Amino acid sequence: MMEENLRETLMGGQSFSWREEDGFFTAVLNERVYRIKSIGDAAADPFLYDYFDLGYDYEKARSEIAAKDEILRKATESTGLIRLLKQDHWIALISFILSQNNNIKRITGLYSRLSEKYGHEVEKGYWSFPTADELSKATEEELRQLGVGFRAPFIIDAVRNRDILEEAEALPFDEAMKALEKIKGVGPKVASCILIFSYQRREGFPMDVWMKKVMAEYYPGKDASYFHPYEALSQQYLFSWIRSIT
């Protein structure tokens, strides 16, 4: 079996909830502080079992992705085994709004500042990510002062339109994309990320600058359908790989 790359799963752009502290990966989720060292630490906890999608055969998926072509073989071998996280819809929505024209380090910092300012302390020094109700107390000016910049009105609109998150549950992928894109600042890339990393819609294939580079250089003339039935997971492997070699 291929070695699990927990660091890339948790800190490679899917989630901005996790930190590395004293040899552990730490996050405030589900009203508690989780500290894990390996994927085995998650297996006995029902919340983390679902969060890490432990019921899905990622080894089989990785093997079939690797067999597709030489680039995917390189991507899977260099990255190790990664998973697609099943995050809270609200956290994913705000996280990927923050991700626009941004990098992982800065997004993680904004996530932390929002938590400390508008969330609540779950354990000394550890704050939950603010709920929609908690974040509804924020003004656009206050959000700008925290450093979110042009994304401030998008967050305000997300609070107002949070019911769309529940509506998207029952919709086919394309319709769910359109529903999410009704929220200001949510375009195809952000909507696709939300659907993959929160709703487990495995057909998502978000196109950011890294993936545009991959597709132009290695898959000219091809689109997401080439990677079926592993569009989302293939994308994540390619995203990890291209960043590591550039």
Domains and CATH numbers, the chain: 6-85+205-245 (3.30.310), 89-179 (1.10.340.30)
Are 231 and 202 in contact by the 8 Å Cβ rule? The answer is: yes
**Maximum pairwise Cα distance, the chain:** 53
pTM: 0.95
Mean pLDDT, 10 residues at a time, over the chain (246 residues)?
Answer: 91 97 96 96 96 97 98 97 98 97 94 98 97 97 97 98 98 98 97 98 96 97 98 98 93
Closest-CA residue to 100 (of 198, 213, 192): 192
Query: What is the pLDDT, as a whole number, of residue 246?
Result: 86
User: Whole-angstrom Cα distance, residue 179 to residue 23?
Assistant: 40
Query: What is the pLDDT, as a whole number, of residue 2?
Result: 76
Which residues make beta-bridge pairs with 20? Answer: 25
Are 155 and 93 in contact by the 8 Å Cβ rule? The answer is: no
User: Whole-angstrom Cα distance, residue 43 to residue 234?
Assistant: 24
Alpha helices (runs of H) in the chain, residue ranges in sequence order: 6-11, 46-51, 58-66, 70-79, 89-98, 104-118, 132-135, 140-146, 152-160, 163-168, 173-180, 188-199, 209-218, 231-245
